[in-house]
Amino acid sequence: MPDHAEYDDIAEEYAASKQLPFRIVVEAPTLFDLAGDVRGLAVLDLPCGDGTYSRAFARRGAGSVVGIDLSSAMVERARSIEREQPLGILYQVGDAANLGAVGAFDLVVACYLFNYAQTRAQLLTFAHTVYANLKPGGRMIGINDNPRTALSRYGDRAAYGFSRTIDLPRREGSRIRYTMPTADGGTFGFDNFWLAPETYEQVFAEAGLEDFRFVDCRAELSPGQDRTFWNDFLRDCPITGLAARRPD
């Protein structure tokens, strides 16, 4: 495991970005739709970041929640919130590439994990980890950079609070750069990597997971929010839901 993770340097800024409207209007409702009723389920949140979704699933009645992330700074933020408002969540530092089985879970939540794989082989290690941590019949759900988007959909999305660019030509391992605003008027960024949608489909099947699919995002609008504005975000959306299951 590297002794320094990219998110150690941006833990605070990333945590604040969970308040961006696209996360609340699109990301979270899409994830919770995919999850369905989690009451009583054993949930692994990988990567948990600062625990935003670990806490959400605990509050939605999950039987137990374990959150794991490569970044010790992110895990420390999650633990600190857990100390202040205990929900019984267990947080650990760990690398999804070589985690092995830490338990037998009904649901693995993988929000923005697979887009860190730079190669097919790395994606396969992540998929093996998901499989190893699911009970037979258990489900994997998540949110990801959307590898299906047209090239024209990269670029400045300032209206939605970020920019997303990709190194061209787009090919396996191409770097995707996200830039987001900070509270003090600056910006911060992080990198994802592009792998073809077909690579995802093949790799999850190879890892033994069935019914892998990308799931288009949806928006949950509050009264007064502009439907046209959010429909433009959803069209060939920069983020996608995904789901798979471990066979019985």
Ligand X SMILES: C[S@@+](CC[C@H](N)C(=O)[O-])C[C@H]1O[C@@H](n2cnc3c(N)ncnc32)[C@H](O)[C@@H]1O
Binders of ligand X among residues 105 to 144 (CB under 6 A) are 111-112, 116
Instruction: For residue 70, state whether it binds ligand X (rule: CB under 6 A).
Output: yes
> How many other CB atoms are found less than 10 A from the CB of residue 58?
22
Specify the stretch interacting with ligand X by CB under 6 A; choose among 69-77, 148-156, 203-211, 224-232: 69-77
Q: Kindly tell me which of 64 and 72 has the beta carbon lying closer to ligand X.
A: 72
Q: What are the E-state strand segments in 53-161? A: 64-69, 90-93, 105-111, 134-145, 155-157
How many Å apart are CA 238 and CA 6, to the nearest integer? Answer: 22
Instruction: For residue 145, state whether it binds ligand X (rule: CB under 6 A).
Output: no
Cα distances (Å, whole numbers) of residue 79 to 10, 54, 55, 107, 175:
17, 11, 11, 21, 31
* Residue 248, beta-bridge partner list: none
Secondary structure of residue 173 in the 3-state scheme:
coil
* Residue 243, beta-bridge partner list: 141, 213
Instruction: For residue 56, state whether it binds ligand X (rule: CB under 6 A).
Output: no
Specify the stretch interacting with ligand X by CB under 6 A; choose among 68-76, 202-210, 214-222, 230-238: 68-76
For residue 78, the minimal CB distance to ligand X (Å) is: 10
Q: Kindly tell me which of 16 and 97 has the beta carbon lying closer to ligand X.
A: 97
For residue 213, the minimal CB distance to ligand X (Å) is: 20
- Say how many residues touch ligand X, by CB under 6 A: 17
**Strands 134-145 and 105-111, bridge-based pairing:** parallel
Instruction: For residue 57, state whether it binds ligand X (rule: CB under 6 A).
Output: no
Binders of ligand X among residues 29 to 48 (CB under 6 A) are 47
